């Protein structure tokens, strides 16, 4: 069976499941390449509007595969191009929801942070323990974490390597929502279905603006927002959405 499975749990929703249960879903090169490939394909697939990434009940992903990189040197690590695969994941134009049960550590936590929404089981544990094995959070952790939760909490997590319980992660803004462990996937599918019922162009613009705006000045980001809003007034879905409201009916969005 493949180390990454692609499922279709609902209309317009794709679910990518990391499938290395014996290795706590450690992200080896095969997993990373398949993740990047699926996200590229789904990003271009008109039938897919929202994507979920998940693991199993024990682990979302326990980080990069330590056994696969323990003996690697600098050039080999460069040539593996891991950083390029991360960029492909981050570049997906459609909303990506991380449904996290069990451990999301190191590259697993970084993968979750590359997603747009994180739903965590109440017993999930997140963290950046790389410092304990002589490296650093190199898949975006030293940058995305402080942007999400602020410098001082991020510094503590990266420098101590201590794991963070789901409830604390929620309180500090690292997690969007907590669900009972057994309900995480169901809740992610429910939320994905809700988002997939909205106009795809509006949804994609919102994702792009929130992400791009974070690293721009407020003035520049607000201008981007205004332009995107103006552009949406050329879409059929804007006409359909507003007309449906006026006619008191459910809109039929086509992504045009």
**Least distance from ligand DAK to the Cβ atom of residue 176, Å:** 22
Stretch that binds ligand DAK, among 128-136, 150-158, 180-188, 230-238 (CB under 6 A): 128-136
Does residue 121 bind ligand DAK (CB under 6 A)?
Answer: no
Of residues 12, 24, 144, 153, which one binds ligand DAK by CB under 6 A?
24
Closest contact distance (angstroms) between CB of 40 and ligand DAK is 19
How many angstroms separate the CA atoms of 253 and 174, rounded? 32
Stretch that binds ligand DAK, among 18-26, 89-97, 172-180, 185-193 (CB under 6 A): 18-26
The DSSP H or E segment spanning 148 is helix 141-149
Is 130 among the residues known to form the active site? yes
Cα-based distances in Å from 232 to 201, 243, 251: 7, 15, 16
Backbone angles phi, psi at 174, to 5 degrees: -90, -15
The residues in 131-170 that bind ligand DAK, with binding defined as CB under 6 A, are 133, 138-139
Residue closer to ligand DAK, measured from CB, 55 or 63: 63
Q: Record the tokens describing residue 5, joined without a space.
A: 């499975």
Are 22 and 1 in contact by the 8 Å Cβ rule? The answer is no
Catalytic residue from among 59, 61, 120, 130: 130
64: annotated active-site residue: yes
Give CA–CA dist 128/106, Å, rounded.
4
Kindly provide the residue ranges of all beta strands, DSSP E only, lying in 48-121, ordered along the sequence. Answer: 50-54, 59-61, 96-100, 103-105, 117-121
Instruction: Name the active-site residue from 26, 110, 139, 154.
Output: 110
Q: How far is the CB of 233 from ligand DAK (least distance, A)?
A: 41
CB of 28 to ligand DAK, least distance (A): 8
Residues 30-58 as b/e (b if ≥16 CB within 10 A, e otherwise) read ebbbbbbebbeebbeeeebbbbbbbbbee
Q: Which residues contact 136 (CB under 8 A, 6 or more apart)?
A: 130, 142, 158
Neighbouring C-beta atoms of residue 137, cutoff 10 Å: 25
Which is closer to ligand DAK, CB of 6 or CB of 66? 66
Considering only residues 197 to 236 of the shown chain, the ones binding ligand DAK according to CB under 6 A are none
Which of 55, 95, 106, 121 is close enough to bind ligand DAK by CB under 6 A? Answer: 106
Binding site for ligand DAK (CB under 6 A): 23-24, 26, 62-67, 77, 82-83, 103, 105-107, 129-130, 133, 138-139
Catalytic residues: 64, 107, 110, 130
């Amino acid at each position: 069976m493949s180390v990454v499975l692609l499922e279709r749990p609902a209309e317009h929703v794709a679910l990518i499941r990391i499938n290395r249960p014996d290795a706590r879903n450690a992200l080896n090169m095969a997993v990373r390449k398949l993740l990047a490939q699926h996200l590229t394909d789904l990003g271009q697939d008109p039938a897919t509007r929202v994507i979920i990434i998940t693991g199993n009940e024990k682990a979302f992903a326990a980080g990069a595969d330590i056994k696969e990189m323990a003996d690697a040197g600098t050039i080999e690590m460069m040539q593996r191009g891991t950083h390029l695969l991360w960029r492909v994941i981050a570049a997906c134009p459609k909303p990506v929801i991380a449904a996290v049960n069990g451990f999301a550590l190191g590259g697993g936590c970084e993968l979750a942070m590359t997603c747009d929404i994180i739903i965590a089981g109440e017993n999930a544990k997140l963290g950046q323990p790389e410092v304990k094995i002589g490296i650093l959070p190199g898949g975006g952790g030293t940058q995305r974490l402080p942007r999400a939760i602020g410098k001082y909490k991020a510094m503590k997590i990266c420098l101590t390597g201590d794991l963070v319980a789901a409830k604390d992660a929620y309180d500090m803004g690292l997690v969007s929502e907590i669900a009972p462990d057994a309900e995480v996937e169901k809740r992610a599918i429910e939320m994905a279905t809700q988002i997939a019922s909205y106009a795809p162009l509006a949804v994609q613009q919102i994702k792009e603006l929130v992400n791009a705006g974070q690293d721009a000045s407020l003035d520049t980001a607000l201008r981007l927002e205004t332009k995107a809003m103006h552009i949406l007034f050329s879409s059929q879905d804007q006409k359909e959405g507003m007309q449906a409201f006026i006619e008191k009916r459910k809109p039929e969005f086509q992504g045009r």
